[in-house]
Amino acid sequence: MKKLTPMMQQYMDIKAQHKDALLLFRLGDFYELFFEDAKVAARELEITLTGRDCGQEERAPMCGVPHHSVDSYIDRLITKGYKVAICDQVEDASQAVGIVKRDVVRIITPGTLIDTQLLDEKRNNYLLSLYGSSGGWGISYVDISTGELYTTEILGIDSLQKLQDEITKIQPKEVIYYISPSLSCSDGLMDFFKQFNLTVSLYNEWCYEEAYGVKILKEHFKVFSVEALGFKANHQGIISTGALIDYLMTTQKRFLSHINKIEIYQTSEGMVLDYSTRTNLELTETIRGKSKKGSLLWVLDKTSTAMGGRMLRRWIEAPLLKVEDINSRLEAVEVMKDDLLLRKEIKNHLRRVYDLERLAAKVSFGSANPRDLIALKTSLQEIPLIKALISDKTGLLKEIVNNIDILQDVSELIEASIIDEPPISFKEGGIIKYGYHPEVDQLQIATKEGKQWIAKLEQEEKDKTGIKSLKVGFNKVFGYYIEVTKSYLKLVPESYIRKQTLANCERFITPELKEMESKILGAEEKIVALEYQLFIEIRNIIGAEVERIQKTATALAKLDALYSLGEIAAENNYVKPKLTNQHSIRIEEGRHPVVEKMLNNNLFISNNTYMDGEEFQISIITGPNMAGKSTYMRQVALIVLMAQIGSFIPAASGEIGVVDRIFTRVGASDDLAQGQSTFMVEMSEMANILNSATENSLLILDEIGRGTSTFDGLSIAWSVIEHISKFLGGKTLFSTHYHELTELEGKIKGVKNYRISVQEEGEDIIFLRKVIEGSADKSYGIQVARLAGLPASVIGRAHDILLQLEEKDIAKVETIKEDLKATRDEVAVNIEAPPLQMDLNSLYNQSIIEDIKSINLLNTTPIEALNILADLQKKTAQSLEGRNK
């Protein structure tokens, strides 16, 4: 077998070290991919697949992209879940002996993006490290584009469910993990990750060892012990964070000084929201379309900066639990809401502030260009003005003032050194301001004077030769030249030296021109090298101040988020809620924050809500579909959540007892990937709620039990209400079409009936959207079907069938009602008594059931079938007669 060419052998050696990534191999002005990588890239990027001689009989498959536009191609590959390894020249080609040395300078993955053009500016891009063992779970996650690093541990019972809840809150783009073989949940966890289309990879086991984690954390953060970072002994986060730092250093190939602190937290510090609740309440994106518009975030986000937008998103995803912390935010929001002039001034200045967090990261990372530094300077110039606006405030705003560093030294350095409109590249000169460095000044003068000499030469040669079309030009191949069109060639002096012949002209040089060219190009070469060196020095000086920039950025992000909540409160007529540690929730004239914004006519109907842990614990809500039951229940949940993030609420007034969790069971759909039916999904979610809720939780339950038969569904719904009342005590909104459940009011402690009012006009109905006391006596299903546009023939036939069913089934209905009443009376006397099982075994004689089971349908003739049916009908009548006696 023939050997590979030296260049291709170099490629193969590097590729062998990065088998899990697509290797972009720099050759001249292109990044090339070969073999299988080329086939993948050509398919995913829709570019031409060609071939290249590689020293073997068959040409190597190859494709490539220009180096100047490589970022857009990398973005497309990362979006599709691929890892990309960037292989560049690491030595000067002019000094290389043999083939120029190349190596991977960075590995880009979905969780390690830093290019702001490839990121959602108002959303964090997290890389998560997960460690699991019998001791518990360690979770660490970082946004490398901002330097934010967090870690926590999850211990005890239900740790897997808590882990999944936390990951759905974080919403990472990439996960690395190691799970001890002693745990049996790996497959289930991988199935969980598949729901979110994450890039997930098993990482080195030896990186997930506590001793290694301690070592790498001490080295990275330059501390004597991990306790200095806030860790307690045997904290699982030590292990997950150590592996995370190792992964970053391995992929980024540099020291990440902007990751300079770690926030260690407990999941119990904030309200826990599981994936189902986040989805059903549409906190940051809609269920349909996955768009921001139509979500709670869409309503609340009026932030002027990217970092403020990310801060507000984090507040929404993790509501507070401590009343004092919530009130601190509310007081700051109140200052904003009440002072229109202050809001306008803050917005006016904040909109000129760029993303300081990501700018600081780029400076530290070594990827900031001259325009990034100008953006940094522009932002810093606004900070003293912003600080002055709130310098006299108290509370949280005073805390923000104390954390704002005006960074005057950094601003003055950039102002003195970088021109106001520099090029993007810092390798071609033209970025250092005149007066900053004496040698740069001298070289700039030399270059300027040389170019003036060139311009003067052109005019002199025109006058001397009489060639009106003569001009002095320049290109990188021939340098400076004198160009003369062919019609004037007879006037060219003998002193001109022919250099190049083109179709319409000739190009010449002179000794004087070449001498000046040498001076100009020499000065330009020196100035480019010197400006590059100076720019790196300036960037490094600023990089040493990254922590100050980050601290100021965090303070401005909080101010921007508070401004946004104040602006929304004023714009939408929101009120300040009263937060307590009591178990009650009282909302007067509450409105759904999103629905009212989506309505063009502003005719949203407000509703009152009162709930507590005693007499008004469980609200059973009845009414037809489309009447607004789900909207009302979501409205209550969103108002509570808004209050606990420190936002004013859409209501006339509100007193909110802090809740530890909000659960929702709204709607259902088949989970085909997990092999689960609609009903199985519904029951799984319900099991999670009943196993996790506490007396301080808020439960939103929409039509529990509808995914199965009527009697089974009714039984489950009834039993759930009993369980919540007896064992949980959580405040519950429970909508249903099982009107039999409304009879539980007065029978089970804390149950109250409410209905959505409806006005009937003939065979039509009008939804009034008002929640009032009492229960609905029917579901208006056929009327709703008419409103939905079903054909008149279908509606008419449905009426006929309904009447027939009601007439023929009256005996069974009365029997069921009696059974229900008897059981309710029994429950009222002793709730511990087992409730009546609402299935065929309780309605008919067991022998009838056995008869039905024994029928062999395949071997039964039509006559035999009629006889069997008649016999069953007779036995049923006898059974009912005996029951009535």
List binding-site positions for ATP.
Answer: 623-630
CB atoms within 10 A of CB 341: 8
Q: Which residue has the tokens 């939780």?
A: 697
**Is the sign of the CA dihedral 864, 866, 867, 872 positive or negative?**
positive
**The two three-digit tokens of residue 681, written as one number:** 């999904």
**The two three-digit tokens of residue 605, written as one number:** 């109907």
One-letter amino acid of 844: Y
Residue 286 vs residues 278, 279, 282, 313, 664: alpha-carbon distances, Å = 10, 8, 5, 14, 15
Label residue 395 left, alpha or beta by phi (over 0 means left) and psi (-120 to 50 means alpha): left
Count CA atoms within 13 Å of residue 723 on its CB side. 15
Distance of CA 28 to the CA centre of its chain: 38
Helix axes 356-365, 546-572, angle to 10 degrees: 160
Torsion of CA 723, 729, 731, 732, to 10 degrees: 0
CB atoms within 10 A of CB 814: 12
**The two three-digit tokens of residue 404, written as one number:** 């704002």
Q: Which residue has the tokens 């400006």?
A: 531
Helix or strand run (H / E) with residue 728: none
Burial class (CB in 10 A: 0-12, 13-18, 19+), 274: buried
Largest CA distance in the chain: 134
Residues 6+ apart with CB under 8 A from 507: 473, 478, 481, 482, 483, 484, 498, 499, 500, 501
- Measure the CA–CA gap between 312 and 297, rounded to whole angstroms: 8
Distance of CA 105 to the CA centre of its chain: 28
| Among 561, 558, 564, 557, CA closest to 307 | 557
| Among 250, 247, 244, 262, CA closest to 130 | 244
Residues 6+ apart with CB under 8 A from 451: 520
664 within 8 A of 635, measured Cβ to Cβ: no
306 within 8 A of 122, measured Cβ to Cβ: yes
- Measure the CA–CA gap between 488 and 479, rounded to whole angstroms: 22
Binding site: which residues?
623-630
- Measure the CA–CA gap between 563 and 569, rounded to whole angstroms: 10
Distance of CA 659 to the CA centre of its chain: 24
| Among 738, 730, 752, CA closest to 820 | 738
Q: Given the DSSP bridges, would you call strands 585-590 and 698-702 parallel, antiparallel or unpaired?
A: unpaired
- Measure the CA–CA gap between 101 and 99, rounded to whole angstroms: 6
Helix or strand run (H / E) with residue 565: helix 546-572
3-state secondary structure 195-247: CCCCEEEECCHHHHCHHHHHHHHHHHHCCCCHHHHCCCCCCHHHHHHHHHHHH
Q: Which residue has the tokens 């292109």?
A: 30
Helix axes 395-403, 546-572, angle to 10 degrees: 150
One-letter amino acid of 442: Q
